[in-house]
Amino acid sequence: MHSMTRTIPAPSNGLYSDMKGDDNQRGPERDETDAFHSLVRHLVADGDSRAAKAGRRARRTLAQMGAVR
């Protein structure tokens, strides 16, 4: 008679290493990327307001920044 249970594959490098590798393959978590994008939005808004107070506009392209490729 066949059993209806499944066996779990044995960890190859230890349980922690397998879990870490699986997590790394999934990429950044949603809350990490949300926090990063929130920070960037805040920095952009702050830079824009500082530039406006000084009567300038924030540079947005490499050419505007004077970069040469």
For the chain, give every domain's residue range. 30-54
Structure token digits, residue 69: 């490729």
Q: Give the pLDDT band (50/70/90) at residue 43.
A: very high
Tell me how far apart the alpha carbons of residues 49 and 69 are, in angstroms, rounded to a whole number: 29
57 with 64: CB under 8 angstroms?
no
Whether the per-residue pLDDT at 42 is higher than 80: the answer is: yes
Stated pTM of the model: 0.45
Q: Given its phi and psi angles, is residue 2 left (phi above 0), alpha (psi -120 to 50 degrees) or beta?
A: beta
Q: Give the pLDDT band (50/70/90) at residue 24.
A: confident
